[in-house]
Structures are given as structure tokens and as C-alpha cells.
Amino acid sequence: MPNSSEYPSVAEATRHWLEKVVIGLNLCP
């Protein structure tokens, strides 16, 4: 099932995106 294989990738990408957003918020005053 491709969904089972894709899910971890999507979760990883989302986590990476959230980290980028948090870092961006921390850099901005």
C-alpha cells in the first residue's frame, strides 16, 4: 500500500515545515 509508505514521509515533511515556521517566528521580533 503506497499510503502506508507515504504517510511517514508526509508526517516528516510536516514536522520539518513546523520546525521552519517556529525558527522563523523566533528570528522575527
Q: Domain residue spans in the chain?
A: 1-29
Q: How do residues 1-29 score in pLDDT, each as one tens digit?
A: 555 666 678 889 999 999 999 999 998 76
- The whole-model pTM stands at 0.54
Query: Which cell numbers hold the place of 7?
Result: 504517510
Backbone angles phi, psi at 28, to 5 degrees: -80, 140
Position 27 scores a pLDDT of 86
Nearest 5°: the CA angle 11, 7, 9 is: 55
**Given this model, what pLDDT does residue 28 score?**
72
The predicted pLDDT at position 29 comes to 67
Query: Hey, what's the torsion of the CAs at 20, 11, 2, 5, to 10 degrees?
Result: 100
What's the pLDDT at 23? 93
Distance of CA 4 to the CA centre of its chain: 17
Helix (H, G, I), strand (E, B), or coil: what is residue 1?
A: coil
